[in-house]
Structure 1
């Protein structure tokens, strides 16, 4: 069963500070680890994935947070992970939550996590600073500002179509 990895607090600190002066391969892999991608998915994105993941594990920058089966249960909710990371199954990503009065409320943590993943997939290692800004957003206003900045960067790097898709997925309704 494939393993899913997430950054530890030390890994998040390394992304911000570069204190350990990781090699470009290790740093790129650390950026791509988001608590959702399995080791097989990471293997498609990272050179020498097995050795790279092992090195990050040994340095305490990532940790295994879940294993996936080939078919996740349809009714399973998000799995809790110690710390700020939550790993939902592919079929169980929560949408906007209802509050008394019938209005929908954006799940900032879910949007933030999904946006970081989308940015990393669209831009790869170039997304590092954008991903950090999105990860730091603690409320809807800060998240909107970070996402708008990401849309401008995506439009410049990948074109208007990619930017429009990102906008439709993450900014409409925010």
Structure 2
């Protein structure tokens, strides 16, 4: 794990308020961030400049839809989603993130299901591959630190 500092950065986390969101908040706070969680669908918050959105949650999906119609202010967004069984759903998330990348810095991180029991949908994905909360939280925090250090043109990137 790369220990990139995010001192003083406020990160808005659109998620489900579950154990993973708490782990991610702890990781970001360990790196010097202030975090606040949004767990209900509120759309996009224009005041958010550094964002992690779990697009497979109600609040994250709603924030992504709102961001797609908001050109300013420019935000650093890490969209996170468990790999989808439904290919059309994966394509929809990717297309929305790509559209947002025209005006914002957007990274889409796909991940295998999390630890058994961490998500009610784990049994829907036909694989034995799982990812630990702390590994995923560290990868997201690393990505946020890289975004924060970059002040170039808006961009979109997807990666596993």
Would you say same fold, with TM above 0.5? no
Q: As a proportion of its length, which structure holds more strand?
A: 2
TM-score, scaled to structure 1: 0.33
TM-score, scaled to structure 2: 0.34
Structure number with the bigger relative contact order (C-alpha 8 A, sep ≥ 6) is 2
Tell me which structure has the larger Cα radius of gyration. Answer: 1
Q: As a proportion of its length, which structure holds more helix?
A: 1
